[in-house]
Structure 1
Amino acid sequence: MLPLLRLLFVLLIVQTVVYVLISLYSRAVRKSKLKRHWKKKGLTTDRDAYVRRGLKQYDGSIRRKLILLVYIIPLGAIALLVYVMNFM
């Protein structure tokens, strides 16, 4: 049992690092797309305000929430493997 807990602890640390990196990368990509869209369309509004509004919408989007699968998929796979190996 102790090796499993140690594995899960290390896995959670690694997953947290990966989650933060993916979140930062995804936000930077979205920000650059918003800036390119503003420039391409030739909008007259303030660019920073436009980008802030777009990032606020992004924060509430399903795409942002899908990044949480970084936690769910590996932990689910380990739980499934433990179940199959012990009870089937």
Structure 2
Amino acid sequence: MVKVVANTRGYIDGEIRETGEVFTISDALWQDEKRRPKWVDAADAQPVTVPQATKAKPKPKPTAAIAEQPQGNGVAEALGGPPPDWLPAQGDDA
């Protein structure tokens, strides 16, 4: 059995292990690189400092650039040409 310490919260052997908790896992599991939990370190390797739980401050959102308002109804500007044929022509025919 290998004595390990959890460096983050994780689940193994039917139990949830908290950060800093010391427990043992089987030698076969520890030696298998694919199955070994990535969230544990060997307890005798070096002293582990448990990070303090701090609330991360959210990064400020970038301000959106102010888009220029198109002239007219925006269809011609958006399409890059005259309005489609299904729209009535704009004119002085009131």
* TM-score of the pair, normalised by structure 2: 0.19
Higher relative contact order (CA 8 A, sep 6+): 1
The structure whose residues are more often strand, as a share, is: 2
The structure whose residues are more often helix, as a share, is: 1
Which of the two has higher C-alpha Rg? 2
